[in-house]
Amino acid sequence: MPAPDPDPTKPDRRNVQGLVAYRYEQPRYAVLLFSIADAGLARGFLRSWLPRVPRGDQDPKSLTGPVLNFAFSWTGLSKLLAADPALDAASGRRELDWAFTDQTPDQAAVSSQLGFIENSAPANWWGKHVAPADIHLAVYMAFDDDDQATRSLAEIRTSAALSGLAECKLPEFGQGALSGYRPEGGFLHFGYRDGVTSPAIDWDDSKQSGTVDFREFLMGYPNDDYPVAPQNPGAWRDFARDGSFACLAWISQDVAAFNRFLDANAPLATRHAAPGFERDWVAAKLLGRWPDGSPLIRHPERPPDRPDFDDAFGYGDDKAGLRCPLSSHIRVVNLRDQELTFVNQRRFPGGPPRFVRRGFSYGPKLTGSVDDGIDRGVIGTFICARVNEQFYSVLRWIQKTDFAEGYFNLPYAGSMQDALFGNRKKPGSSARFPIPFESGEPARADLVDFITYKGVAVLFLPSFTALARLT
Amino acid sequence: MTHALNLTLPLKQDAESQAKLKQLEAIFTDQVQPKIEEALKKSKLVHFARVVVIDNKYIQVITEYEGDHQEYTEFFRRELTPVFGAIFGLAEGAPSSSDSVAFWEYSKTNNRRSLGQDTTGALDFSGNPAGWLFSAYDHKDVRTIQAALDKAGA
């Protein structure tokens, strides 16, 4: 029986790379970055490894490593498509998201507004070994164990070298590439459990409450609410359909500074946190969740006896941030029901920007407040369909909280920052972190830099249809 | 930080386009201006705005506004699609204002840099130092100014 014709109005999960549709269960990860020298040979490389790329309709539990995904920069895509007359670069520049083809995160036009300044400046990225423009292809890999990771990395590197791919090596990592692990229990280096929230993609366009429109993550189906590029019918839109952008970020976490901050500010919790929870209370105010993942909005004084993973909450009854401060990380990066400013309401008629987040930790655990000089952090992949409207917007909001009305009310200000991720050197922004209470003056902490961006790239994560054209 | 938009578009010179320009001029006060004013007032981002026609050869959209160029382009395009549609329809090489990528590219290409150099570190659409923009109130933002005026009972 022949396969049914694809529905041109809805995505086919079989056509989407697995990374978009689900979180892998493998414990070890790596992202290899390559420059493409010869398009023909590179196509051969992709073709030979394509069977390891899972489709979006597969069961992640059934996957055995190595699991691969391919993503491309605009330069990489242009090289591979140079001989494809229907997909010429000039028309691609006109049709595709300009934040992918032109104003990438390393470019001066956007880098400072996104917080990529001082230690996080593009000049310092990729260990200063790799020019952002040299990244053409990223191979995202998941492994069943360390031995498989070592074997598979050697195998794919040999294959890549024979295919004229020059690896952008990162000697900071033991594997010579962005690499790490799924952390035990999901706890990242700052001690918070991650992965509690993930958007439920509305694959069927059902508009069901609690789901997020698939157009937020996939190209090829633009409408008025989601004017996703390419907007014009034609070869580029067909090529991009069921593809996404994978915004890759190497984020270094200063655990010692974070722990010192908690120690120094724990006295602020006196009389507000349950006894013994003062330090965690400060951590919870920064994130908006207790370290175990329970939301502060429901558990303002102490975490529940068992973690509360019910994600169905909003901030409608905490507009002043008395329980969960407005500049806590999760209120900035996932707005839920907070009232956007008028301009942002118009920009986002389908709701505030969302991402599919994938990632892994790297570096050894650190406890205590003395830095050991070893780098640690997270390699994050933020999947979306509109780079400027989603990824860049939230990065801007992290640097300056002028996106929603509540932030303009005292003790807050539109110039404040995300409590965890803000770059405190950003001109015009304030490191002040007010913690208001039902009565009395708000407490105040002065934020420091907890993270540094060590590399960011916007990459195209093509569909299987597009991968077939690239191989 | 306040930025300047000096969007300067070459007008089509054929008789039909010039006639449409006359129509736009005729309806601007009653039909176009109120729509722009309503959107900009709600935005709390724009200090000043005007549309200028130069010798029927160029049309300019000039504003002083806050936020990075890339941040609010989509707001202006979405909120003022008919207005930009009418203006773009008169201009050489203009795309449909419903195409967000083309709208950005056309705006970037046709934004004219003012002389001199900005003293606040502002950048232009392409990331180069922006031209000079004088601010009598040290680039204070619209909300701050409005709040101060409200407080003063103005």
Q: What H or E segment, with its residue span, contains residue A57?
A: none
Residue A148 belongs to some domain of the structure: yes
pLDDT for the residue A370: 97
Whether the CB of A113 is below 8 Å from some CB of chain B: the reply is yes
Residues A46 and A171 in one domain: yes
Residues A18 and A142 in one domain: yes
**Closest residue of chain B to A108, computed from CA coordinates:** B127
Residues A242 and A342 in one domain: no
Contact flag B68-A110 (C-beta cutoff 8 Å): yes
Domain with A162 in it: 13-250+456-470
Contacts of A394 in chain B (CB under 8 A): none
Calculate the CA A219 to chain-centre distance. 17
Residues A243 and A290 in one domain: no
Q: How many helices (H) and strands (E) does chain B have?
A: 6, 3
Q: How many residues does chain A have?
A: 471
Per-residue pLDDT tens for B118-133? 998 899 999 999 999 9
Query: Residue A15's CB: how many other CB atoms inside 10 A?
Result: 21
pLDDT for the residue A5: 57
Cβ pair A237, A230 in contact under 8 A: yes
Mean pLDDT of the B35-46 span: 96
Contacts of B104 in chain A (CB under 8 A): 98
Residue A368 belongs to some domain of the structure: no
Contacts of A408 in chain B (CB under 8 A): 143
Domain count of chain A?
Answer: 2
Contact flag B127-A110 (C-beta cutoff 8 Å): yes
Tokens of A78: 């242009």
For chain A (length 471 residues), average pLDDT per consecutive 10? Answer: 64 97 97 98 98 98 97 98 95 97 97 97 96 98 98 98 97 96 96 93 95 98 96 97 98 98 97 95 98 97 96 95 97 96 96 96 96 98 98 98 94 94 94 93 96 98 98 94
Contact flag B123-A103 (C-beta cutoff 8 Å): no
Residues 6+ apart with CB under 8 A from A160: A32, A34, A45, A167
Please tell me the distance in Å from A344's CA to the nearest CA on chain B.
Answer: 7
Please tell me the distance in Å from B152's CA to the nearest CA on chain A.
Answer: 18
Chain A contact probe: residue of B68, B71, B98 with most A CBs at under 10 A: B71
Residues A154 and A143 in one domain: yes
Q: For residue B45, what are the CA distances in angstroms to A28, A388, B84?
A: 47, 19, 18
Please tell me the distance in Å from B137's CA to the nearest CA on chain A.
Answer: 15
Query: Residue B112's CB: how many other CB atoms inside 10 A?
Result: 14
The strand pair at A377-384 and A137-143 is best described as unpaired
**Closest residue of chain B to A92, computed from CA coordinates:** B101
Residues A163 and A214 in one domain: yes
Residues A227 and A266 in one domain: no
Alpha helices, DSSP H, located in A14-65 = 18-21, 39-49
Chain B contact probe: residue of A74, A226, A346 with most B CBs at under 10 A: A346
**Closest residue of chain A to B126, computed from CA coordinates:** A109
**Closest residue of chain B to A91, computed from CA coordinates:** B102
From the list A229, A343, A393, the residue facing B100 with the nearest CB is: A229
Residues A279 and A214 in one domain: no
pLDDT for the residue A374: 97
Residues of B with CB under 8 A from a CB of A: 1, 42-45, 68, 70-72, 74-75, 78-79, 98-102, 104-105, 121, 123, 125-128, 141, 143
Task: List the domain boundaries for chain B.
Answer: 2-152
Q: For residue A95, what are the CA distances in angstroms to A74, A393, A433?
A: 12, 20, 42
Conformational region of residue A186, where left means phi above 0, alpha means psi within -120 to 50, and beta covers everything else = left
Residues A402 and A337 in one domain: yes
**Closest residue of chain B to A348, computed from CA coordinates:** B75
Residues A260 and A246 in one domain: no
pLDDT for the residue A8: 78
Mean pLDDT of chain B: 94
Please tell me the distance in Å from A278's CA to the nearest CA on chain B.
Answer: 36
Calculate the CA B114 to chain-centre distance. 14
Q: For residue A105, what are the CA distances in angstroms to A21, A32, A121, A126, A293?
A: 25, 19, 10, 13, 30
pLDDT for the residue A1: 44
pLDDT for the residue B153: 86
**DSSP letter, residue A364:** -
Q: For residue A375, what are the CA distances in angstroms to A149, A283, A362, A432?
A: 21, 21, 8, 27
What would you measure as the largest C-alpha separation in chain B, in angstroms?
A: 53
From the list A97, A108, A341, the residue facing B101 with the nearest CB is: A97
The whole model's pTM is what? 0.97
Residues 6+ apart with CB under 8 A from A232: A95, B99
Residues A237 and A292 in one domain: no
Residues A103 and A39 in one domain: yes
Phi, psi of B96 (to 5 degrees): -65, 135
